[in-house]
């Protein structure tokens, strides 16, 4: 009994020291518990360890963790779980105590007993996905007080917390023996990882893999004698890697609080499928990036694709693309300032109409932008070549990947922070078309134009930064456990030589976006807390064989001193339905006030 108590004290001390270490921002690594003071049976542990050591149970994979920009953990939740170790049957039969555990766990008595009795290797009380079922303080205390041989409460790391945010950004891990053999042969042969080690399969888990592999796992094992009796005092052994620098920590630019609110706002506006991106207006850093539908990183359905990050997927932009056409027209000088156009509601060919029946009448170019007049933009596009439009679009960070990248990838390739960022296109196959019918459809953001929400938000950042295109960052740095820097990712501009537009035209379009809210299609935003600016888009598409629309709103706020650029898209909404993206845009901006 004394030995049992001593062991519990030991584990308690371990838990406390671990917590203290975490609190102090340092991790204390213990290779193996000092067994000297416990060797009452004079056991030669080294000689007997193989024979006596039962299969261990993993408490922490040792994989690096993600943190938000304020140092809040996004992965690696510490939970307490119940572990059953195999001990000799005669020492395990205490029906009353076992029944009490079932009651404490609120588990079915026979299911719990079956679990307990069948534990011929250490096992964790887990759900159907193999996830440890977290114990409350009260549950942990009561189970520990029962002192049942082989039943322990232990702290373990749940990589993806139950209330995790930014799940699509972070992605998920999975077994991939082939990838390990190909990419990590050295670590495999050194024994640092095994073929069954879970590695990044999507998101930052995948792109940051080179920094995430740890120095080894933390596991706990039970030592028994030949008759499976626990070795008194030294039966439960914790093994941890002896490396003070690991696991590494990956610091993101995301703000977990804002991210959580953005995710909530998309849902509360009834958006079932879509995305929102919040960028720092000054440098393009990703403050929040949300995607719907939601998914469970422990139950991946590779086919249904809900785990894919829609903020990085290129879709039809609709009238958001008029921003690009307007800039191209100004840069090329094909429209003179103050020039007026006429819209009678029908372009007259290619089946192109204005969304406003009867038309906008005589209208200036900037008012046509604010009112999103299709006919005027088709007329302007008649003066522009497809090649020129595509060139300007590329200078604005479209028709190309825009996220942070460098050239030190695997096998001399490119390394990107974002996983599977789509580059989108302006024309089919990214080949400019000079066909007038194609050009005018392209001018209103239909036909073959594809843009991702990240690109759309970054386009706004470009307008707010004198026409210079940023390359948005989502990872700021990687650090050792000690806090020492491993790598810093500096703010970047998109390859300077072939990007950017004139500061004058960038400022003009930023102003026109203000007009959209004051006197155009964004009037419903006039009641927002901040003065806002932006551009709407309603892109026609087909969903499940039926006509549908992607509702877009991209813009910035506050208008006089921009802090954030935001893009919201609600995908595959019914035609003529309520505009969910503009409502979500407003809610996001209202939420950002004072943050």
Q: Residues interacting with Zn ion, by CB under 5 A?
A: 343, 354, 360, 373, 375
Q: Which is nearer to Zn ion, 57 or 375 (CB)?
A: 375
Sorted by sequence, the CB contacts under 8 Å of residue 571 that are 6+ apart come out as: 273, 274, 275, 310, 315, 543, 550
Min dist CB 350 to Zn ion, Å, is 15
Beta sheet of 533-543, edge-to-edge order: 286-292, 274-280, 564-573, 546-557, 533-543
Min dist CB 443 to Zn ion, Å, is 13
**Is beta strand 65-67 parallel, antiparallel or unpaired with respect to 249-252?**
parallel
Q: Which is nearer to Zn ion, 307 or 341 (CB)?
A: 341
Q: State how far the Cα of 588 lies from the Cα of 572, in Å rounded to an integer.
A: 21
Min dist CB 375 to Zn ion, Å, is 5
Cis upstream peptide for 439 (omega within 30°): no
Q: Decide: 421 and 402 in contact? Cβ < 8 Å.
A: yes
Q: Which is nearer to Zn ion, 342 or 546 (CB)?
A: 342
Q: Which is nearer to Zn ion, 515 or 529 (CB)?
A: 515
Q: State how far the Cα of 347 lies from the Cα of 319, in Å rounded to an integer.
A: 16
Min dist CB 335 to Zn ion, Å, is 16
Min dist CB 356 to Zn ion, Å, is 5
Among 569, 530, 571, which Cα is nearest to 281's? Answer: 530
Sorted by sequence, the CB contacts under 8 Å of residue 181 that are 6+ apart come out as: 188, 195
Is the Cα dihedral 217, 223, 227, 228 positive or negative? negative
SS3 363: strand
Q: Which is nearer to Zn ion, 208 or 443 (CB)?
A: 443
Min dist CB 359 to Zn ion, Å, is 5
Q: Which is nearer to Zn ion, 116 or 341 (CB)?
A: 341
Min dist CB 374 to Zn ion, Å, is 6
Min dist CB 360 to Zn ion, Å, is 4
Q: Which is nearer to Zn ion, 377 or 427 (CB)?
A: 377
Rounded to 10°, the helix 453-464/322-332 angle is 40
No. of helices (H) and no. of strands (E), the chain: 19, 21
Q: Decide: 221 and 237 in contact? Cβ < 8 Å.
A: yes
Per DSSP, which regions of 513-587 are E strands? 533-543, 546-557, 564-573
Q: Which is nearer to Zn ion, 228 or 360 (CB)?
A: 360
């Amino acid at each position: 009994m004394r030995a049992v108590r001593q062991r519990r004290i030991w584990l308690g001390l371990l838990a406390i020291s671990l917590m203290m270490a975490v609190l102090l921002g340092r991790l204390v690594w213990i290779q193996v518990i000092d067994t000297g003071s416990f060797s009452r049976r004079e056991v030669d542990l080294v000689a007997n360890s193989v024979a006596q050591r039962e299969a261990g149970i993993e408490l922490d994979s040792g994989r690096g963790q993600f943190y938000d920009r304020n140092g809040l953990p996004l992965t690696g939740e510490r939970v307490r779980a119940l572990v059953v170790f195999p001990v000799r049957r005669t020492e395990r039969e205490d029906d009353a105590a076992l029944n009490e555990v079932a009651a404490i766990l609120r588990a079915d008595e026979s299911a719990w007993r079956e679990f307990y009795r069948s534990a011929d290797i250490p096992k964790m009380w887990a759900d159907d996905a193999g996830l440890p079922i977290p114990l409350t303080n009260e549950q942990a205390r009561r189970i520990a007080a029962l002192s049942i041989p082989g039943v322990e409460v232990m702290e373990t790391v749940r990589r993806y917390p139950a209330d995790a945010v930014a799940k699509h950004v972070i992605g998920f891990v999975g077994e991939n023996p082939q990838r390990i053999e190909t990419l990590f042969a050295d670590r495999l042969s050194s024994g640092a990882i095994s073929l069954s080690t879970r590695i990044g399969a999507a998101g930052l888990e995948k792109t940051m893999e080179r920094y995430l592999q740890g120095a080894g796992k933390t596991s706990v094992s039970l030592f028994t004698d030949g008759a499976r009796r626990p070795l008194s005092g030294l039966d439960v052994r914790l093994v941890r890697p002896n490396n003070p620098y690991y696991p590494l920590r990956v610091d993101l630019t995301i703000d977990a609080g804002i991210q959580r609110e953005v995710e909530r706002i998309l849902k509360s506006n009834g958006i079932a499928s879509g995305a929102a991106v919040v960028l720092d207006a000054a440098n393009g850093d990703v403050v929040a990036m949300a995607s719907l539908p939601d998914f469970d990183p422990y139950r991946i359905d590779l086919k249904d694709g809900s785990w894919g990050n829609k903020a990085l997927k290129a879709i039809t932009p609709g009238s958001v693309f008029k921003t690009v056409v307007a800039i191209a027209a100004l840069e090329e000088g094909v429209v003179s300032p103050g020039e007026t156009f006429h819209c009678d509601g029908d372009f007259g060919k290619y089946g192109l109409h204005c969304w406003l029946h009867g038309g906008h009448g005589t209208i200036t170019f900037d008012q046509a932008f604010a009112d999103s007049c299709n006919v005027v933009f088709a007329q302007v596009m008649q003066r522009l070549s497809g090649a020129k439009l595509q060139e300007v679009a590329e200078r604005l960070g479209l028709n190309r990947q825009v996220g942070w990248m460098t050239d030190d990838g695997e096998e001399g390739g490119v390394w990107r922070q974002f996983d599977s960022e789509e580059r989108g296109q302006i024309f089919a196959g990214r080949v400019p078309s000079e066909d007038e019918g194609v050009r005018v459809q392209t001018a209103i953001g239909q036909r073959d134009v594809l843009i991702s929400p990240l690109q759309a938000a970054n386009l706004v950042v470009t307008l707010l930064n004198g026409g210079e295109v940023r390359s948005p960052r989502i990872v700021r740095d990687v650090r050792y456990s000690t806090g020492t820097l491993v790598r810093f990712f500096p703010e970047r501009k998109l390859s300077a030589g072939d990007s950017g537009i004139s500061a004058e035209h960038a400022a003009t379009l930023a102003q026109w976006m203000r007009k959209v809210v004051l006197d155009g299609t964004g009037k419903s935003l006039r009641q927002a807390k901040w003065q806002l600016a932006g551009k709407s888009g309603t892109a026609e598409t087909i969903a499940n064989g039926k006509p549908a629309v992607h509702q877009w709103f991209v813009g910035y706020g506050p208008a006089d001193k921009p802090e954030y650029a935001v893009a919201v898209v609600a995908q595959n909404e019914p035609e003529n339905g309520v505009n969910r993206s503009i409502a979500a845009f407003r809610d996001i901006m209202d939420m950002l006030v004072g943050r």
